[in-house]
Amino acid sequence: MIRMGKLANDSFRLGVIAVLAGVLCSLVPSALGQSAPEQQPAAALGLYQATAWGAPVLVSPANATALNHYPRTTTLIWQPVSGAVSYLVEAAYFGTTWVAYPPVTVSGNSTSFYSFNFIGDQKGRWRVTAFDGTNYSPASPWWTFSFTTVPQMATPTLTGPANNAVFGQFPRTLTLSWKMVPATAGYKVEIAYCQSDRVTCVNYPVVNLTDPLASDYTFSFVGAQPGKWRVTALGGGTYRDSAPSAWHWFSFTQ
């Protein structure tokens, strides 16, 4: 009896290990050594309700989406399909004709995403087929996307005044300064004045400086209260505008 109990316990442990191994394997990205997303999409977290058996419902990127991020890491997401044990993912890029990537099998019902590095600035397409262990579903419709990657300007570094600086002078003339960004076409300066809670704010009109050598802007602040500012480097069509700098705060006491 003791030996039979030990065998049953060992079998149970082996079963648990097998299940855990299967879960880990389902999360390992397949094909071409491409990386899994840094943050798992909603599909991986089980936030999409499974659809009835049939062609998978595609989610993202939406059909005909224009993308411009670089590197061109693209995460394809679809809704899980009830009864599916894996999915066949097909993708292709367009040159003079459609060129297919090797089809990829993604294991697991709820592992309804696949991430890969797209080849270039051109059009792509993708579709998904579900597999229940015996039968394949109809394939989803092809969805397309396209890449146009343009280098992005570096984000300006703000140099003065220091964040959270307090001023007591009147008139409330203030000079904002930042480090110049190479190759920029100019700068966008955003300023707001706020109530003491620093939540309710009113924006000044946006200031666009067309001088690429500009590194400061002087203005008169509205009152004895907090304010904030940030700067964006403009690409001028050759580059994408930079991400805006973080907001820097200041305040006047009179």
Q: What is 24-39 written as a DSSP string? A: HHHTS--STTPPPPSS
Contacts for 206 with CB less than 8 Å, ≥ 6 apart: 188, 189, 190
CATH of 23-147 given 3.90.79.10, 1.10.357.10, 2.60.40.10, 1.10.510.10: 2.60.40.10
- pLDDT of 150: 81
Query: 245 with 156: CB under 8 angstroms?
Result: yes
21: helix, strand or coil: helix
- Can you name the CATH fold of 158-252? Immunoglobulin-like (2.60.40)
CA distance 200 to 206: 18
CA distance 192 to 176: 13
Domain spans of the chain, in order of start:
23-147, 158-252
CA distance 30 to 113: 11
- pLDDT of 69: 86
CA distance 31 to 183: 39
For residue 82, give both structure tokens: 């009830």
For the segment 183-222, what is each residue's pLDDT rounded down to a tens digit? Answer: 999 999 999 999 999 999 999 999 999 999 999 999 999 9
- pLDDT of 238: 84
Order of strands, sheet of 173-178, starting from the edge strand that comes earlier in the sequence: 158-160, 173-178, 216-220
pLDDT under 50: residue ranges of the chain: 1-38
CA distance 202 to 225: 12
For residue 213, give both structure tokens: 């050598």
Query: 58 with 81: CB under 8 angstroms?
Result: no
Q: Do domains 23-147 and 158-252 have the same CATH topology?
A: yes
Q: Please state the φ and ψ torsions of residue 236, each to the nearest 5 degrees.
A: 65, 20
